[in-house]
Amino acid sequence: MTERVEVNQPSARWPWQRSLQARILLMYGSVFGVVLALLMLVIGRAVYQAQLANAQQALEVEAFLAANALQDPLSGYADEFKAHERDDDQHDDDKHDRDKAQPTPTSTQSQVSRSTPVPASTSSKAAGRLQRVAGQYAADTGARVTILDALGHPLADSAYAADQVTNQLAQPEVQAALHGEARPDVRRDPLSGTVTLFVATPVRQADRLLGLIQMGRPMQEVAASAWALLFRLGMFGLLALLLVTVLAVGLTRYLVRPVQALEKAAIAVADGDMGQQVPVTTADELGALARAFNGMVDSLRRMLEQQRLFVANASHELRTPLTNIKLRSEALLDGPTDPAVHRRYLTEIDREADRLGRLATVLLDLSSLTDSGSRLPPAPVDILPVLHEVIDVMHLRTAQAGLTLTLDAPAQLPQLRVRPEELEAVLLNLLDNAVKYTPAPGAIALTAQADGSRCRLCVRDSGMGIAPEELPFIFERFYRVDKARTRGAAGLGVGSGAGLGLSIARALVEQSGGTIRVESTVGQGRVFEIEFAA
Ligand code: ADP
Rounded distance from Cα 433 to ligand 1 centre (Å): 6
Mean pLDDT (the chain, rounded): 82
When pLDDT is averaged across residues 304-315 and rounded to a whole number, the result is 79
pLDDT at 138: 94
Per-residue pLDDT reduced to its tens digit, 98-154? 444 333 333 333 333 333 333 444 445 556 788 888 999 999 999 999 999 999 999
**Higher model confidence: residue 148 or residue 16?**
148
CB atoms within 10 A of CB 324: 18
Other CB atoms closer than 10 Å to residue 364's CB: what's the count? 10
**pLDDT at position 139:** 94
pLDDT at 490: 43
pLDDT, tens only, 239-279: 988 998 899 889 888 888 888 999 999 999 999 998 899 99
Counting every residue, how long is the chain?
A: 534
Q: 528 CB less than 6 Å from ligand 1? A: no
pLDDT of 444 above 90:
yes
pLDDT above 70 (res 487): no
Q: How far is the CA of 477 from the centre of ligand 1 (A)?
A: 11
What ranges make up the beta strands (E) of 126-233?
A: 144-149, 154-157, 185-188, 195-205, 208-218
284 against 225, higher pLDDT: 284
Label each residue of 21-49 as H, E or C. HHHHHHHHHHHHHHHHHHHHHHHHHHHHH
Burial of 492-505, coded b for 16+ CB within 10 Å and e otherwise, reads: bbbbbbbbbbbbbb
Q: Are 269 and 4 in contact (CB under 8 A)?
A: no
Residues ≥6 apart with Cβ < 8 Å to 519: 526, 527, 529
The pLDDT of residue 112 is 32
What letter does residue 124 receive in the DSSP assignment? Answer: H
Cα–Cα distance for residue pair 291/282, rounded to 1 Å:
10
**Which range in 34-38, 144-148, 226-230, 530-534 is most confidently predicted, on average pLDDT?**
144-148
Cβ(345) – ligand 1 distance below 6 Å = no
pLDDT at 108: 33
Atom 13 of ligand 1, nearest CA residue: 480
Q: Does the predicted TM-score (pTM) go above 0.75?
A: no
List pLDDT tens digits, range 29-85. 888 889 988 988 898 889 888 888 988 999 999 999 999 888 877 777 877 777 766
Question: Which pLDDT value is given to residue 529?
Answer: 92
**With contact defined as beta carbons under 8 Å apart, do 214 and 189 qualify?**
no
Please determine, for residue 159, whether its predicted confidence score (pLDDT) is greater than 90. Answer: yes
Pick the atom of ligand 1 nearest to 463's CA.
Answer: 24
Q: Is the CB of 504 under 6 A from ligand 1?
A: no
Q: Is the CB of 434 under 6 A from ligand 1?
A: yes
Q: How far is the centre of ligand 1, averaged over its atoms, from the C-alpha of 466 (Å)?
A: 9
pLDDT at 371: 63
Tell me how far apart the alpha carbons of residues 140 and 138 are, in angstroms, rounded to a whole number: 5
- 494 pLDDT band, cuts 50/70/90, is very low
- Return the SS3 of 347: helix
Q: How much of the chain exceeds pLDDT 90, in percent?
A: 35
Query: Looking at residue 29, what is its pLDDT?
Result: 85
The pLDDT assigned to 377 comes to 66
Nearest CA to 534 out of 436, 456, 481, 459 is that of 456
Phi, psi angles (nearest 5°) of residue 246: -60, -45
What span, in angstroms and rounded, lies between the C-alpha atoms of 163 and 155?
Answer: 8
Q: Which residue has the higher pLDDT, 402 or 481?
A: 402
Q: For position 122, what pLDDT does the model report?
A: 42
Q: Is the CB of 477 under 6 A from ligand 1?
A: no
Among 197, 166, 208, 199, which Cα is nearest to 181's? Answer: 199
CA–centroid distance, residue 496 to ligand 1 (Å) = 9
Which residue out of 432, 470, 475, 481 has the highest number of ligand 1 atoms within 8 Å of its CB and is therefore the one to mutate? 481
Q: Is 480 in the pocket of ligand 1 (CB under 6 A)?
A: yes
Per residue in 215-225, pLDDT (tens digit) is 999 988 878 88
Query: What is the structure's pLDDT at 473?
Result: 85
Separation CA 8–CA 12 (nearest Å): 12
Cα of 340 to ligand 1 centre, how many Å? 36
Of residues 79 and 393, which shows the higher confidence score?
A: 393
The sign one gets for the Cα dihedral 471, 474, 475, 476 is positive
* Whether residue 441 has a cis bond before it, omega within 30° of 0: yes
pLDDT at 97: 43
Cα of 319 vs centre of ligand 1, distance in Å, is 22
* Confidence category of residue 485, pLDDT binned at 50, 70, 90: very low
Residue 289 class from Cβ within 10 Å (0-12 exposed, 13-18 middle, 19+ buried)? middle
For residue 497 and ligand 1, the question of a CB distance below 6 A is answered with yes
The secondary element (H helix, E strand) that includes residue 406 is strand 403-408
Q: Give the pLDDT confidence score for residue 118 in this predicted structure.
A: 38
The pLDDT score that the predictor gives to residue 114 is 35
